[in-house]
């Protein structure tokens, strides 16, 4: 895992700060996913406790579980958005830079002998931007 992250940082170059932000926001998103599991566990605990003691479920317990679940949902949405935003910006820009780098390198290669396509068509296909 460490080597994978190390390779990711080596490839990312100037976008390593976006990768760092993405990893941090993903950790916080995971924490909020755990909080939602905690809300489910609290709900089941209260239900079992009330069943075994022959008591009714209090509205206070329902509100507590609802608030915990709502906080978890909002946290997952916010941190998921921030993680995805940094991830997609970094990956798109890295892809664009690498595509342009490959296109520049192919301009210097004599490919007419090996291919029926012209060098302009090959470079155009590599540097094609989807709008």
**The pLDDT value given to residue 80:** 93
Question: Rounded to whole angstroms, how far apart are CA atoms 98 and 94?
Answer: 6
Per-residue DSSP letters for 5-31? HHHHHHHHGGGHHHHHHHHHHHHHHHH
pLDDT at 29 over 90: yes
pLDDT band at 33 (very low <50, low <70, confident <90, very high): very high
Question: pLDDT tens digits, residue range 64-88?
Answer: 889 999 999 999 999 999 999 988 8
């Amino acid at each position: 895992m460490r080597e994978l992250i190390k390779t990711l940082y080596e490839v990312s170059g100037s976008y390593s700060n976006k990768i760092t932000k993405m990893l941090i926001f993903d950790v916080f998103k995971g924490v909020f996913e755990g909080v939602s599991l905690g809300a489910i566990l609290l709900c089941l605990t209260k239900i079992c406790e009330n069943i075994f003691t022959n008591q009714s479920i209090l509205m206070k317990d329902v509100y507590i579980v609802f608030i915990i679940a709502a906080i978890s949902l909002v946290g997952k949405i916010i941190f998921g958005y921030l993680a995805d935003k940094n991830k997609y910006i970094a990956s798109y820009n890295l892809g664009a830079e690498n595509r342009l780098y490959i296109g520049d390198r192919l301009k210097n290669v004599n490919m007419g002998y090996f291919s029926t396509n012209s060098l302009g068509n090959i470079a155009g296909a590599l540097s094609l931007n989807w709008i």
